[in-house]
Structure 1
């Protein structure tokens, strides 16, 4: 009986996780791809500033 309750609760929890994932508007992981994109933009801006600084000299 206890095993059946554990199985049922696991099934409900996994169903909730799948339902929640399907309702999300974006499928990005919470940090990984966004952080990589932000670091890329940050470094790109610094390269542009460095080139402009060299041109001004």
Structure 2
């Protein structure tokens, strides 16, 4: 009985650890996407300014 309870507890702990890891990885991917979008917009704005200055 105690062995089964220990195995169940161990299995539950492992599943919780895996869930937390997956949650952390999803969050990191989301943050990276927003950082990439910000960098793209900065570059786009810089290119637009240089084009406008070149046409002036």
Which has the bigger relative contact order, CA under 8 A and spacing at least 6? 1
Q: Same fold (TM over 0.5)?
A: yes
Across the aligned residues of Structure 1 and Structure 2, the Cα RMSD in angstroms comes to 3.2
The 1-side partners of 2:14 and 2:32 are apart by 31
Larger fraction in helix: 2
1:28-47 to 2 correspondence within 5 Å? 29-47=27-45
Residue ranges of structure 2 left out of the alignment (5+ in a row): none
Residue ranges of structure 1 left out of the alignment (5+ in a row): 22-26
How far has the Cα of 1:6 moved from its partner? 7.3
Q: TM-score, normalised by structure 1?
A: 0.58
Aligned length, in residue pairs: 48
